[in-house]
Amino acid sequence: MREALKPFCEQNGGKVTVSTIEQHWAVIGHCERAVRRHHPKHRELANELWGHLVRACESVVRHADWPATNERWKAVRRILLKASTDPLPIASSNDDAKEDGWPIWGWPAPRLDAARGLLFLIYRLGCADKQATAALLRLSRDKSHPLRFNMADRLSVLEQAEPKLMWQLIDRFIRYERKFSVLEMVVNSLNNLWSRAAQEVKPRLARIAERAMQNAPDGNHIFETLAHAHLFPFLRTGNAECEAFVNTLIAECDRQRASHALAVQLHTCRAGRWLTAGDGVKIVDVEETVRKRTWGFFGKLLFAAQEKLQQHRERWQRLHAAGQPNADELKTTSEATNRTSQLVDAGTYDFLLCVIDENESAPRNESRGWA
């Protein structure tokens, strides 16, 4: 029966289709009954099958686009709600630690799959009933770090069906969450909402950014995600709050948290052709504005990085000129020099590749300032 559930989940790169789900749908009922029947005497085997069954239902809600009135949703809802109280995954240890990375977790993890699946189920049904709402509110404060991490990344799926519940969950995460990796996933969800709910996104994103800037370790991945969530809305719209955050990172571009986050954005700008918006012949005002903002970002960052690099090199020389320099000061200066040098190199590299791409792929238009 476990093997019979495999068509519901992606295997070896294969895609799950609605027709595949419908073809094997009877297996869901067979497995649910088997778990109920054999659990008293064969608990370990039944629990393993139950884990596969919940995972299959989570896959169903992601791939099946049946109408809300389809009777199959009742079975999926029943299984996911039951799984929302499953003891697995177990509570995470040291959950209040500031230093955290993206979590790993074992499997089966029915409660985790239920948290992800219920969000998509509400999207499919177009509304949330009291039981589903209560389950999600409870799961948002779950003791499992991997569960909250996975749940936070999918909150924006509720935007159309249950926007009030979506904002309630987002606010609960922002208020209570102590793991920056989970807050990073909330930033991902907020980033998906920029174009349709900017006024609701801005204050919430600002709260997360303030907490991260005050308390997150420099090496935390949240800074890269925050940089992305602020830079590209600024490039698209000129949003002043987003620009201010980007400028804050630029001002400290020799610091670990800023240098890596900004270097990644330089590459993303080039790879996404933000520096060459338009076709090079017909001028479109909106595209031209985006393009100019992107070049402005490149120029401001590289200028600031070059200034920082010069300052650190001069400090390095002064330390050695004084004789027997302090080891800690040397280490700090050396690390800052290396980070800033790498940022300058990365920016120059992406700039040159951008010019090469433009010259090779787009017609020349002198009015756009290309030389």
Q: Would you state the pLDDT for residue 141?
A: 97
Q: Would you state the pLDDT for residue 365?
A: 42
Of 276, 172, 277, 257, which is closest to residue 212 (Cα–Cα)?
257
The pLDDT tens digits of the residues spanning 337-357 come to: 888 888 887 767 656 555 555
Residue 364 has phi, psi (to 5 degrees) of -75, 135
Q: Would you state the pLDDT for residue 370?
A: 28
Secondary structure, 3-state, the chain: CCHHHHHHCCCCCCCCCHHHHHHCCHHHHHHHHHHHHHCCCCHHHHHHHHHHHHHHHHHHHHHCCCCCCCCHHHHHHHHHHHHCCCCCCCCCCCCCCCCCCCCCCCCCCHHHHHHHHHHHHHHHHCCCCHHHHHHHHHHCCCCCHHHHHHHHCCHHHHCCCCHHHHHHHHHHHHHHCCCHHHHHHHHHHHHCCCCCCHHHHHHHHHHHHHHHHHHCCCCCCHHHHHHHHHHHHHHHHCCHHHHHHHHHHHHCCCCHHHHHHHHHHHHHHHHCCHHHCCCCCCCCHHHHHHHHHHHHHHHHHHHHHHHHHHHHHHHHHHHHHCCCCCHHHHHHHHHHHHHHHHHHHHHHHHHHHHHHHHHHHCCCCHHHCCC
Q: Would you state the pLDDT for residue 287?
A: 86
Q: Would you state the pLDDT for residue 334?
A: 85
Q: Would you state the pLDDT for residue 371?
A: 25
Of 108, 50, 47, which is closest to residue 79 (Cα–Cα)?
50
Are 253 and 304 in contact by the 8 Å Cβ rule? The answer is: yes
List, for the chain, all residue ranges whose pLDDT scores fall below the cut of 70.
Answer: 11-13, 94-99, 277-284, 347, 349-371
Of 124, 122, 176, 128, which is closest to residue 148 (Cα–Cα)?
176
The pLDDT tens digits of the residues spanning 255-267 come to: 999 999 999 999 8
CA–CA dist 155, 85 (Å, integer)? 20
Q: Would you state the pLDDT for residue 366?
A: 35
Q: Would you state the pLDDT for residue 330?
A: 80
CA–CA dist 25, 278 (Å, integer)? 48
Q: Would you state the pLDDT for residue 363?
A: 46
pTM of the model: 0.89
Q: Would you state the pLDDT for residue 280?
A: 54
Are 287 and 278 in contact by the 8 Å Cβ rule? The answer is: yes
Q: Would you state the pLDDT for residue 355?
A: 54
Q: Would you state the pLDDT for residue 148?
A: 97
